[in-house]
Chain A
Amino acid sequence: MSIPLAQHTAPLLLIQRRMPWALIGLLALAFIGVPLWGNDYWLNAILIPFLVLSLAGLGLNLLTGYTGQTSVGAAGFMAVGAFATYGFLLRLPELGLPVALLGGGVISALVGLLFGLPSSRIKGFYLMVTTLAAQFFLEWLFVKFPWFYNYGSSGTISAPRLALFGHDLNTPLGRYLLTLVTVLLLTWTAINLVRTQVGRNWMAIRDMDTAAAVVGIPVVRYKRLAFAVSSFYLGIAGALWAFAYLGTASASSFDINRSFQILFIIIIGGMGSIAGNFVGAAFISLLPIFLSHAGQALFGGSVDAGQLQNLQKIIFGVLIIVFLIKEPEGLIRLLHNLRDRVRQWPLRF
């Protein structure tokens, strides 16, 4: 028996290829504009953390947004990545930065796989709690065993010289470019994944896992794969967070609040969307800074900074709920609508 092939085998494309000017513009800005005009404040305090958080969001989104396995242990896996990368750089310096980063990611992926094992038996909240277990266990691990932080008195690991092929990356710009390139590479692979069979299988599992099994998708294997890949991304994000951004980190840099922060990024940005992570990260990392600047600008510091922070907390909470109610697909969906509207406005008249 044979499946009929397309009569006219014209090469058909999945997506209508239009020149993605917006994307090109953004990349140009990131690679040319920022290095030209970006100052330390923008690089160190805004752009680098934004990029790393986007990557972390991407990692969690693969698991939660695409495969439908909610995790609140994201930060735990970031910690694994950070400490593993540190270990490689410290004990096997000859590996060099890229390999060490990769290694950190791989270790984190293995740990993710380990904590993903229950996903074969457990679903929903129960599974979510196993990710919480991971969170707390890993935090404890990296406080408890000094080997992980080279017996420093304070339990913190600090970035060894970041160098790539002899180039010193310890300038803000260097660290920015390192982060940017890493994030772009991983984003590209993520896009490949979600656009091919693997991604389809994940989404199938998310939408209805019984049916997925019936059509021949190895559900358990793909759930675990999702855990591993997600942790890989989170691990590298963690390493960048520790070394490219903070410059130093301890277990407490990856506490449960970080996990929630990343969860919020994907809720606000958009579940099951790649670009959404960037939008969400931008939003979540810019809003507080904006509020505090606004506070300073409006009241010249005369207002109690505390109240401003409480207000910010409330705003976040409200936004999350509003998004869940009104736009479960997050900011990215809004942006799409906006774009479509812009596209067609000439026709309106």
Chain B
Amino acid sequence: MRASLKRSLVGAAFALATLAGAVPQAMASPDQQFIPLATYRVGAYASSGVQVWAGMIDYLRYINEVEGGINGVKLVWQECETEWTAEKGIECYERFKHGLDGAPVAVYQPNGAPAAYALSERAEVDKIPLITLGYGRTEATDGTVFPYNFPVMLTFYSEASTLVNYIAQREGGFDKLKGKKIATVYHDSAYGRETLGPLKLLAEKYGFENIQIPVADPGNEQSAQWRQVRQANPDWVFLRTWGVSTPVAVKTAARFGFPVDHIIGDIWASSSEDVLPAGAAAKGYLALTPYPAGADFEIHKRLKQYILDKGHSDLKDLKNFGSVYYNSGLVNAAVAVEAIRTGQAKFGKRPLNGEEGRWGLEHLNIDDARLKDMGYLGLMQNLKLSCRDHEGGGSARVQQWDGANWTLISEWIAADRGLLRPLIDEKSAAFAKEKGLTPRTCTGDE
């Protein structure tokens, strides 16, 4: 038995030895563009991750196999497990940042809030742009202070605004919001607290009553919270939970007799995994999302024809084709690809480095025409980034759960970003001050 110990010891030593020389086997070459995939396939969020990566990988395959790469530049990718933690995220980043066998990194997607925060300053030093879609620093919208952070499409601030705008739509105009009660049940964490500020502001502007009820992590017992909801008796509930706390919330809401079709889940509470465990109680549940579920967008037809039917899909379980998370993977991949494409327009049809990737992102402009070519119309919103604005978009669609599937019940609902921008500038200015940074000035062609 001692021997087995000795063995494990030898194993560790062997680990040390091999570590230096352990070059992952993946044929990449300097004429290719490296797309690092920081993934999480285990841990609390694994169930969603597995589909996201499938979506990304399928789209990258599609670009390579059908479109012959981006303007002929083939993509090469490799996975690194982050377990959704900061430290593993850093390890992966450090492993990947210099590219793979000469294939450079143009954009990096940390895929996970902790890693995103941990990397935001390293990335600046290494001149590698970070794309955080639907998470990450909201204040990084201000590209003058955060030149290498891109919280594209929908920050939590914009999400809050879209929610209010949608409710106004349902109630029949902003004037109707006055005197209404909107309760936010949020996961008591950095993520959950992000919307406190904007909702306060919006409540003042539109005169609705803003009720905030925190749910402590992990949130598998919420009777206290929903008893409070029942007591306050709001008109709408904005559900900003995640992971297990979402199904528990939906079930508990039903138990306290709150109408589920007046609960609006946020982007991390908008997948089938979030509602399935709640069973019948979730029927009629609403959710905001920048990447709606559905398998009959144009891109899905193409993917089905060229990837799935050829058996090249990364999906283990094909019934997840078109799920929210799969589609989020598609959208994430598309943003990266389009950024590189834009960059190539300036720097030439070759693999780009981080600096060039950032230029591409800041000049990204995806309009309906482009979406149509990509086959993303309806699945992805218009996205126009600039030096000052690293979010772009700022819209979401609302989908409703019918017990088995999501059905889209709204068009793109735009956030009132002008209203919230001062809040963001305030935060970014504070950050700049704390760090002693001088924001760059945007000349229009960085």
Asked whether any CB of chain B lies closer than 8 Å to the CB of A154, the reply is yes
- Please give the distance in Å from A203's CB to the nearest CB on chain B: 25
Interface residues of B in 392-445 (CB under 8 A from A): 427, 430-431, 434-436
Interface residues of B in 30-73 (CB under 8 A from A): 39, 41-43, 46, 50
Q: Given A153-B427, A287-B12, A308-B81, A253 and B114 touching (CB < 8 A)?
A: yes
The distance in angstroms between the C-alpha atoms of A224 and B414, with both chains bound, is 58
Q: Which of A248, A290, A292 contacts B117 (CB 8 A)?
A: A248
A residues within 8 A CB of B19? Answer: 46, 286, 289-290, 293
A residues within 8 A CB of B435? Answer: 158, 160-161
Asked whether, in the complex, the Cβ of B22 is within 8 Å of the Cβ of A296, the reply is yes
- Please give the distance in Å from A264's CB to the nearest CB on chain B: 14
Q: Interface segment, B3-11, B253-261, B362-370? A: B3-11
**Count of B interface residues, CB-CB < 8 Å:** 62
Asked whether any CB of chain B lies closer than 8 Å to the CB of A263, the reply is no
A residues within 8 A CB of B50? Answer: 306
Asked whether any CB of chain A lies closer than 8 Å to the CB of B78, the reply is yes
Asked whether any CB of chain B lies closer than 8 Å to the CB of A44, the reply is yes
Asked whether any CB of chain A lies closer than 8 Å to the CB of B2, the reply is yes
- Please give the distance in Å from A172's CB to the nearest CB on chain B: 9
- Please give the distance in Å from A51's CB to the nearest CB on chain B: 13
Q: Given A140-B216, A153-B138, A322-B8, A44 and B81 touching (CB < 8 A)?
A: no
Asked whether, in the complex, the Cβ of A309 is within 8 Å of the Cβ of B1, the reply is no
Asked whether any CB of chain A lies closer than 8 Å to the CB of B139, the reply is yes
Asked whether, in the complex, the Cβ of B434 is within 8 Å of the Cβ of A90, the reply is yes
- Please give the distance in Å from A344's CB to the nearest CB on chain B: 17
Asked whether, in the complex, the Cβ of A292 is within 8 Å of the Cβ of B434, the reply is no
Q: Interface segment, B85-93, B275-283, B343-351? A: B85-93
Asked whether, in the complex, the Cβ of A296 is within 8 Å of the Cβ of B24, the reply is yes
Asked whether any CB of chain B lies closer than 8 Å to the CB of A97, the reply is no
- Please give the distance in Å from A83's CB to the nearest CB on chain B: 13
The distance in angstroms between the C-alpha atoms of A154 and B151, with both chains bound, is 13
- Please give the distance in Å from B190's CB to the nearest CB on chain A: 4
Asked whether, in the complex, the Cβ of A296 is within 8 Å of the Cβ of B15, the reply is no
Q: Which of B12, B117, B139, B436 contacts A250 (CB 8 A)?
A: B117
Q: Which of A46, A248, A308 contacts B118 (CB 8 A)?
A: A248
- Please give the distance in Å from A319's CB to the nearest CB on chain B: 6
- Please give the distance in Å from B293's CB to the nearest CB on chain A: 23
Query: Which of chain A's residues has its CB closest to B24's CB?
Result: A296
Interface residues of B in 140-176 (CB under 8 A from A): none
- Contact size range, A: 35 or more
Q: Given A143-B189, A156-B190, A300-B24, A246 and B87 touching (CB < 8 A)?
A: yes
Asked whether any CB of chain B lies closer than 8 Å to the CB of A155, the reply is yes
Query: Which of chain A's residues has its CB closest to B3's CB?
Result: A326
Asked whether, in the complex, the Cβ of B42 is within 8 Å of the Cβ of A310, the reply is yes
Asked whether, in the complex, the Cβ of A305 is within 8 Å of the Cβ of B39, the reply is yes
Asked whether, in the complex, the Cβ of A246 is within 8 Å of the Cβ of B90, the reply is yes
B residues within 8 A CB of A170? Answer: 125
Q: Given A152-B427, A289-B19, A293-B19, A44 and B90 touching (CB < 8 A)?
A: yes
Asked whether any CB of chain B lies closer than 8 Å to the CB of A96, the reply is no
DSSP class of A's interface residues: helix, strand, loop or mixed? Answer: helix
The distance in angstroms between the C-alpha atoms of A325 and B5, with both chains bound, is 11
Asked whether any CB of chain A lies closer than 8 Å to the CB of B25, the reply is yes
Query: Which of chain B's residues has its CB closest to A297's CB?
Result: B22
The distance in angstroms between the C-alpha atoms of A41 and B46, with both chains bound, is 26
Q: Which of A41, A292, A338 contacts B80 (CB 8 A)?
A: A292
Q: Given A248-B121, A297-B22, A300-B24, A334 and B194 touching (CB < 8 A)?
A: no
- Please give the distance in Å from B187's CB to the nearest CB on chain A: 10
The distance in angstroms between the C-alpha atoms of A261 and B14, with both chains bound, is 22
Interface string of A318-330 (1 = CB under 8 A from B): 0100110111000
Asked whether any CB of chain A lies closer than 8 Å to the CB of B230, the reply is no
The distance in angstroms between the C-alpha atoms of A37 and B78, with both chains bound, is 26
B residues within 8 A CB of A160? Answer: 434-435
The distance in angstroms between the C-alpha atoms of A127 and B188, with both chains bound, is 27
Asked whether any CB of chain B lies closer than 8 Å to the CB of A98, the reply is no
Asked whether, in the complex, the Cβ of B22 is within 8 Å of the Cβ of A306, the reply is no
The distance in angstroms between the C-alpha atoms of A143 and B194, with both chains bound, is 12
Asked whether any CB of chain B lies closer than 8 Å to the CB of A57, the reply is no
B residues within 8 A CB of A148? Answer: none
The distance in angstroms between the C-alpha atoms of A326 and B87, with both chains bound, is 31
Asked whether, in the complex, the Cβ of A153 is within 8 Å of the Cβ of B194, the reply is yes
Q: Given A155-B189, A309-B83, A293 and B46 touching (CB < 8 A)?
A: no
Interface string of A123-142 (1 = CB under 8 A from B): 00000000000000000100
Interface residues of B in 181-198 (CB under 8 A from A): 188-191, 193-194, 197
Q: Given A45-B94, A246-B118, A248-B117, A319 and B24 touching (CB < 8 A)?
A: no
Query: What 5 additional pairs, Cβ within 8 angstroms, besides A46-B91, A153-B139, A326-B2?
Result: A90-B434, A250-B117, A319-B8, A323-B5, A326-B1
| Complex A-B, nearest 3 residue pairs according to Cβ-Cβ distance, in ascending order | A290-B15, A306-B41, A155-B190
The 15 listed contacts between A and B (C-beta, < 8 Å) are A41-B94, A154-B190, A154-B194, A158-B121, A161-B436, A250-B190, A290-B14, A293-B22, A297-B23, A305-B39, A306-B46, A309-B43, A319-B8, A322-B4, A326-B5
Residues of A whose CB lies within 8 Å of any CB of B are: 40-41, 44-46, 49, 90, 140, 143-144, 150-156, 158-161, 170, 245-253, 282-283, 286-290, 292-294, 296-297, 300-301, 304-306, 308-310, 313, 319, 322-323, 325-327, 331, 334-335, 338
